[in-house]
Amino acid sequence: SYVLTQPPSVSVAPGQTARITCGGNNIGSKTVHWYQQRPGQAPVLVIYYDSDRPSGIPERFSGSNSGNTATLTISSVEAGDEADYYCQVWDTSTDHRNVFGTGTKVTVL
């Protein structure tokens, strides 16, 4: 089955840039989505189709996808960005199903 690997944690100072990676075999050939989940809340879609932002999501959130790594970048990090972040793809390599990454906890120092 297809596996998406994320770093367990990323720490960043306010105003700096956080980069969260999502590794998968030839992930660049797939469409990647990203979610933010604050404690006790449902996830929120922050990036879809590799790099598009839903309405209401700040421009500080951006995405890229190439080769074996997709990346979510959060610029000018704010305290409110502290949350868990998950990547997701639709996998057709072995069977047709949604696969979520292992998740990354972003801590704002």
Partner 1 sequence: QVQLQESGPGLVKPSETLSLTCTVSGGSVSSGNYHWTWIRQPPGEGLEWVGYIYYSGSTNYNPSLKSRVTISVDTSKNQFSLKLSSVTAADTAVYYCARADNWNEVAYWGQGTLVTVSS
Of 22, 36, 101, 108, the one binding partner 1 (CB under 8 A) is: 101
Helix (H) or strand (E) holding 62: strand 61-66
Binding to partner 1 (CB under 8 A) within 72-91 occurs at 86, 88, 90
Q: Which stretch binds partner 1 (CB under 8 A): 13-21, 60-68, 72-80, 98-106?
A: 98-106
Per the structure block, which two tokens stand in for 102?
């292992």
54 binds partner 1 (CB under 8 A): yes
Q: Rounded distance, CA 79 to CA 2, Å?
A: 33
| Residue (53 or 77) nearer to partner 1, CB | 53
Q: Rounded distance, CA 34 to CA 30, Å?
A: 13
